[in-house]
Amino acid sequence: MNFRNWFILVLTFLYTGIYAQIKDPVKLKFDVNPAGNNVYEAVISATLEQGWHIYSKDLPPDSGIPTEMLVTSKEGIELIGGITEVGKKHDEFSEAFGVQIVYFSNNAQFKQKFRFKNPDKPAVISVEFTYQTCDDRVCLAPNTLEFEKKITPANSGSGLENQETAEEINAQNEAELSPADVAATVQAAPLDPKNLKINSLDFNNPLTDCGTAPVEKSDSYLTYLILGFLGGLIALLTPCVFPMIPLTVSFFTKGSKDKAKGRKDAFIYGFFILLIFILLSVPFHVIDGIAGNIFNQISTSVGLNIFFFVVFLFFAGSFFGYYDITLPSSIANKSSRAEEAGGMVGIFFMALTLVIVSFSCTGPILGTLLGSAVTGSSNIPMLLTFALAGFGLSWAIIFGLLALFPQALQSLPKSGGWMNTVKVVLGFIELGLALKFLSKADLVSKTFLLKRELFIVLWILITLGLVLYLFGLIRFPHDDKKAKISSGRKVFGILSIGFLIYLIQGLFPSERPRLQMLSGILPPLNVSYFHKEGEGILGLHPKHDYFKAIEQAKKENKPLLIDFTGYGCENCRKMEEFIWSEPDILPLLQNEVVLASLYVDDKEELPENQQTRIDMGNGKMKRIKTIGDRWSMFQQVNFNNNSQPHYVLVTPDGEVINTPVSGYMPKEDFKKFLECGIQYFKNNK
């Protein structure tokens, strides 16, 4: 899809996301109908709410998502022909996609004929159905559902059995099920040898109430608001934005004889800037509402993290001045022409024009915020909203204050080479951040090629390059050839040398972890040239399977500490390196408990006989295909929680001892949690 089409779709999301609630406008029903002579027909019937439509299976490339229907059976079937569609077809030109598209409204049926390879035995017919729903303003995210029906071929004398589909079983449930609801209704096949749902793991009724869990601090909205605010201030100093400040403020304060009105318009202008940046986060709320676990899945995706690594390298090249990242000029031109509308509408489009034309400098900064939030947290949409709100707020405040005190324009520094210096410094920062995403991809894929020491060496080289640039020993395309090294550059150069020295100490092995400031960014301690991955962190040897760990706890008669963690979990690394390693914590982990570290982002596939599906309600089935899928769902259905780190102490009989705790926490809080549970177990075993 070309950029124009993407832009139209994004604007559509921005518009509808404000007014609409997350919808589920399609109801599906699965049937299998006999057609005689060992021929049957699998039928998916779709009933759509007024105004919504579902696409045909036949769509041009790079347009909507075509409907797909895959019919299978382990007992063996032979498909007859292809998918047939029944319903009133609409064939029209789509301005968004620029092609003719075919879709159905109100009602549609998708049918696939088949025959049994062994017509004398009962069989389970499975259908995987993928579709996308749209109305005239917005498209919902693609959805894939699975249906099953057990039938007995007519040859054996019974015909179709009266068995409900997942959709019919849950027809009475109008709302999405929470993890707690799923825990109560989960219908999972046995996982060698246990089910995902363990009834004894009742975290709501622990055996004791000591060691009360602290408030989870892993997702700080204030932190992202501040980061966004600082990012906005930095963006104001770039050559794409800074020269526009006096021009814009002067337009409002001098362009009107009514000074009060001019300042009022400037404040409205600042408000619209803030609003536009907040609206940029709306699509992520829509996507998260449609598929609540989607960000948890993509944040640990090897492909996504490699993509971010490449994108950040691309951003760095732009900041260094080798090329510019710009939106098509036609977009800025259309926005500029819209300013002529005047009034509130004109001011809005002035703000939109500013955001668009400054994209070459703000794009990489916004991309950094996006990448950090998407791969670093479980509550991504809200974090993005706060980050983008902070970004827009900084611009709104600066423009508002300068409109109120226009004489302050005289004290602003003049445009010059210093702005390019800001961009180049940001380029070095982008290079450093790119390695973070490459490291996460390396960890999740279990290749462990980017060792801790190699990561540090690469950061040392990047910092060394920054030092050489700040002192004028290397230059980039837009730097003045005979530029004078300012006092500010010298100060930042000295600070960079200090950071360089700080990094170097991390290359040498030590009894205690170093580089605490970079904990969670660097690879784990055991991904090192001085350690083997199998040696474990801090000499600990945790089990990576709950069921094996609980058996070990029974043998040793010790409580089990469940550690829900992830290869890409930064707060998990901080806990391991700087809380677990404390001299009054590590002995507890080594001697008093059996440790089970369950990685929720482990992409290794389970053996086929351990893969299963869980009925999530409303016809939705969750496939448990990887090790990470298993422990992620295990955490949700048993503890109504999907954040990491998450710690649970249980007895060898599988009972929760005290209230679980989550997130990075002070040492004393974690120590209190451990000692409370351990002492209770000793007193009552």
For 491-593, list the strands marked E by DSSP. Answer: 560-565
* 470 neighbors 593 (Cβ within 8 angstroms): no
At 673 the pLDDT is 93
In angstroms, rounded to a whole number, what is the distance separating the alpha carbons of residues 582 and 562? 19
In angstroms, rounded to a whole number, what is the distance separating the alpha carbons of residues 596 and 564? 8
Sequence letter at residue 277: F
* 444 neighbors 302 (Cβ within 8 angstroms): yes
Written as six digits, the tokens of 186 are 């989960």
Q: Global pTM? A: 0.51
Written as six digits, the tokens of 235 are 């963006």
At 658 the pLDDT is 92
Written as six digits, the tokens of 476 are 């980039």
At 640 the pLDDT is 82
Written as six digits, the tokens of 551 are 């058996």
In angstroms, rounded to a whole number, what is the distance separating the alpha carbons of residues 327 and 324? 10
| Phi and psi based region of residue 511 (left: phi greater than 0; alpha: psi -120 to 50; beta: remaining) | alpha
ω into 193 cis (within 30 of 0): yes
Q: Cβ–Cβ contacts within 10 Å for residue 653, how many?
A: 9
HSE-CB for 166 with a 13 A CA cutoff? 22
Cα dihedral across residues 109, 113, 119, 122: positive or negative: negative
HSE-CB for 98 with a 13 A CA cutoff? 10
In angstroms, rounded to a whole number, what is the distance separating the alpha carbons of residues 181 and 184? 5
Mean pLDDT of successive 10-residue stretches along the chain, which has 685 residues: 39 35 70 88 90 83 76 90 88 64 88 88 87 64 73 59 39 39 42 63 86 50 83 78 68 61 77 87 63 51 81 84 65 49 70 69 66 54 83 84 71 70 86 86 80 92 94 87 82 93 85 71 78 66 90 94 83 82 90 92 81 63 79 85 85 92 86 92 86
Would you say how long the chain is, in residues?
685
Cα dihedral across residues 497, 498, 503, 509: positive or negative: positive
At 63 the pLDDT is 59
Sheet holding 53-55, edge to edge: 89-94, 99-105, 53-55, 133-134
